[in-house]
Amino acid sequence: MIPPTLQANPILERWVSFPVTGRVRVAFGKVEYGQGAKTALAQIAADELDVAWERLDVVNQATSAVPDEGMTVGSMSIEMSGASVRAAAAEVRALFLAEAARRLRCEAHDLGIDDGAFTINGVPSGLDYWRLAGDVNLNRAPEGKARWKSADQHRIVGTSVARLDLPAKVFGGAFINDLPLEGVMHARVLRQPGFTATLASLDEAAVHKAAGGDVEILVDKAFVAFLSKSERAVSLALAAAEQKAKWNTPRAVHPELTEPSALRGLPNTPWEGGAPAPEPSNRRKVSARYGRPFISHGSIGPSCGVARFDGEKLAVWTHAQGVYPIRGILARLTGLAPDKIHVEHAQGAGNYGHNGSDDAAADAAAIAMRKPGENIRVQWRREDEFGFAPVGTAMHMEMSAELDESGRLVDFTNEIWSAPHVGRGHVLAETALNPGTPPPAMPMMAGFSGGRLNAVPSYDIAATRVKDNVIVPPVRTSSLRGLGGPVNEYAGECFIDECAEAAGADPLAYRLAMLSDPRGRVVLERLGTMCGWSTRGKGGDGTGLGLAYARHRDRGAYVAVAAAVTVDKEVRLTRMWAVADCGLVINPDGAKNQIEGGMIMCASWALKEQVKLGGQGIASTTWADYPILRFTEVPPIEIELIDAPDQPPFGTGEISGGPALAAIGNAVAHALGTRIRELPYTRERIAAALLSA
């Protein structure tokens, strides 16, 4: 079987080639976003080709150089791109073995490969990949017949080799913000307060005076940009323009829409699926409401884009999630044919999902088209990133359940209110150049908006149903780590604890009684041992221990997380644990990094983060009004990976966040003796919960 992205990009030499003696060129379409995919995918290639790790030259993602694998999304780099890299490398190995066997007049199965050199019955043959490269045609499609290495043949897969991307980052050479450019023209863009807003006036004289330098002002409808060789000058110009610009039809966003429950009152498109509504019965009923507010990506470094137009072709450097998808957007924006646009990836500050990177690239491209021959560098500010990049949508969930006479959950309903979690397809520059034209609606795949991922807890429940109300958001929303999955997992796993309480059962035992999947059971049982669940007290004394479990998207990795907290006026995390079964683990250290990072990120969601709305959109535009978890607040974290080398590998980027949220929520409920259902767990919510208990 040929994996999907290899089928879509079937020329083998696009994936693997031997252009320089002693070196192996490896290319794939998934960009490095800080998750370690570049290293893990290279490990797969090295093992399949039987070459030393040090021989690999991994090609940076560019539209001229790598296969089109779409975007780095959904924890699917290892599952999808990894399968294609493995298959392509195995095909290449088989082709070279066949050529070596022909030359040596032996059978291919008599040959071995030692660091790229072919041996016959263990004896060096004098042939290697590079001597044979001129006679092996890699400008061909795979046949799908080559056998992949089995787990017991791996030498590099399964080991924690050093990350390929870290040295350049340590020395400041990896990031788009630090690209060495000659004669760079710095640029800043004045943002519309809304897609209907048109520019009424701009006091350009006041802007020039405030800039204190040579600043060029570009105005095209509602697209306003400032250019200078001085970065300070354009920064001052933008700050002045924000005070001196007057807009027609600025929108207003009501502050009360900050709260997730307010989503219930917004226009929506409903979707419903699952079992019919239950018949009236005397079964015990449990119901609860949960919510998460709008969430920012909050990357430490704001977005940046670089572009140059030579009068015929446009070159763009971006930290977007995929070089080919953004090329399509830029083609529509500029009117150029896609083959006239070269897009190259340059890493930005780590984030998961759709932040301002597409917009910054589009800003730079729009300006470059109007300034041929100039290297245009657009650097967003913190207030741009917080105020105008897409955010993760708020979600409100209303869950209800029926328990049988033994207390087992037998009927479950989750009604969700959520904006679309997929908003890529337009950029702010496009809106500004066509003011009043609403952004194109995202096509929903059979009503799918990302909001109902993991909408049903990962247990054996006889009857389940989901209602998904896809609302029209008051601010721009798009993908954030895990889409709706982590929020549904949070609500669902907190709700499982509430059902266990109603049944008078221990939360861990209650889960195990409803879980038949042996891999899930192993994960939960091991977590219970790690965190000392058997010694957990009754709670209500300010210290708590909670746990949660999920299978990512009901088909991926299994993970269980436990959290220990103390609660006084605030919640303090004292320790966290995680156990995960990710199938074949390519790089154990990388997998643990991903799991730990997801836990820390969602701990910050649980305790700190909330986008505040008001005025003309987002009101929380600084770190002062959008706090995140500090390094000093990160607890000790222990992670254990269940070894399953005979199973397919699963991605790990999105698997731990939801269980971490729920484990914290359950620990806080255990500590307080009462439950807080809306995130984040602020002082005010703690006080209100205690007063109402």
Each residue of 148-180: pLDDT tens digit? Answer: 999 999 999 999 999 988 888 888 777 999 888
pLDDT higher than 90, residue 447: no
Each residue of 593-617: pLDDT tens digit? Answer: 999 999 999 999 999 999 999 988 9
DSSP letter, residue 76: -
pLDDT higher than 70, residue 216: yes
Closest C-alpha to 656, from 607, 600, 590: 600
Averaged confidence pLDDT in the chain? 94
Tokens 């027609």 -> residue: 248
Closest C-alpha to 602, from 660, 675, 655, 669: 660
Each residue of 321-371: pLDDT tens digit? Answer: 999 999 999 999 999 999 999 999 999 988 889 999 999 999 999 999 999
Question: Which amino acid does the sequence have at 311?
Answer: G
pLDDT higher than 60, residue 119: yes
pTM score, whole prediction: 0.95
Tokens 């007290």 -> residue: 537
Strands 123-128 and 117-120: antiparallel
Q: How far apart are CA 580 and CA 656, in angstroms?
A: 9
- The pLDDT confidence band at residue 496, using thresholds 50, 70 and 90, is very high
Q: What residues pair up with 558 in beta bridges, in sequence order?
A: 551, 581
> How crowded is residue 214: how many other Cβ atoms within 10 Å of its Cβ?
11
pLDDT higher than 70, residue 443: no
pLDDT higher than 60, residue 445: no
Q: What is the pLDDT of residue 77?
A: 86
Closest C-alpha to 261, from 449, 469, 507: 469
Q: What is the pLDDT of residue 98?
A: 97
Average pLDDT (575-599) is: 97
Q: Cα dist. 277→271, 400, 446, 466 in Å?
A: 15, 11, 21, 11
Q: In this structure, what are the phi and psi dihedrals at residue 680, rounded to the nearest 5 degrees?
A: -85, 170
Q: What is the pLDDT of residue 446?
A: 44
Each residue of 519-561: pLDDT tens digit? Answer: 999 999 999 999 999 999 999 999 999 999 999 999 999 999 9
pLDDT higher than 90, residue 405: yes
Does residue 680 have a cis bond before it (omega within 30 degrees)? Answer: yes
pLDDT higher than 50, residue 675: yes
Q: How far apart are CA 142 and CA 67, in angstroms?
A: 14
Average pLDDT (90-111) is: 96
List, in order of start, the domains of the chain with CATH numbers.
4-165 (3.30.365.10), 177-249+303-379 (3.30.365.10), 395-692 (3.30.365.10)
Q: What is the share, in percent, of the chain residues with pLDDT greater than 70? A: 98
Q: What is the dihedral of CA 624, 253, 356, 263, to 10 degrees?
A: 100
- The pLDDT confidence band at residue 195, using thresholds 50, 70 and 90, is confident
